[in-house]
Each structure stands twice: as C-alpha cells, then as structure tokens.
Amino acid sequence: MQTIQVHVFARFRDVFGTDVVEIILPQPATVRELRAAVVLSKAEISGLLARSQVAVNNEFAGDDALVCAGDEIALIPPVSGG
C-alpha cells in the first residue's frame, strides 16, 4: 500500500477542511482507483468529482494513468478563472 497526498482546491478544500488529503491506495494504482477511494472517503463530493479532472505532476491525467506516492497529485474541479 502507499499513501498518496492529494492537493485539493476551492469547494473540495472546503468540504475536506484541508489543503492536502491523504488517500491510501494499493501499489501500483491508477487515477480511476484514486477517484474511487476519494469518493469512499467523502461521498458528498461524488457529483463534483465526476465533473473534475485529476492532475499528476501538473498535467491533466486520464483514468488509466498511474499515481505514485512521489507524484504531485491534485483534484481540479471545473475551473472558473477570468
């Protein structure tokens, strides 16, 4: 198992009450497994998470991408800059 630190922003940060959420995953694990684990930890964000992207090392990552404990992982809810 590995502990993944996930950076969260905006509504995610308000819901989790912190900037960084720790998620425990098997090793190796995919973005898809990360999403499932995040929903398990906080069911109320499932709708927003489904509309969100996951960033691995500052790049948008597909559900099959691998996540490792040393990567910089972030949940990117729909953006609203401008």
Partner 1 sequence: MIELTRGPIEYNALTERVRRAHCGAVVTFLGTVRDLTGDRTTVALDYEAYPGMAEKKMAEIEADTRARWPVGDIALVHRLGRLDVGEISVAVAVSCPHRQQAFEACRHAIDRLKELVPIWKKENWADGSTEWVHPNAECGNKASAQSE
**Residue ranges in contact with partner 1 by CB under 8 A:** 7, 9-11, 14, 48, 51, 55, 58-59, 72, 74, 76-82
DSSP 66: E
Q: How far is the CB of 62 from partner 1 (least distance, A)?
A: 16
Task: Return the closest-CA partner of residue 78 out of 55, 49, 57, 58.
Answer: 49
The least CB distance from residue 33 to partner 1, in Å, is: 22
3-state secondary structure of 59: strand
**Rounded to 5°, angle at Cα 53 from 47 and 57:** 145
Residue with Cβ nearer partner 1 (9 or 66): 9
Return left, alpha or beta for 58; rule: phi > 0 is left, psi -120 to 50 is alpha, else beta: left
Q: Which is nearer to partner 1, 26 or 63 (CB)?
A: 63
Taking the complex as a whole, the smallest distance from the CB of residue 42 to partner 1 amounts, in Å, to 15
Which of 17/81 has CB closer to partner 1?
81
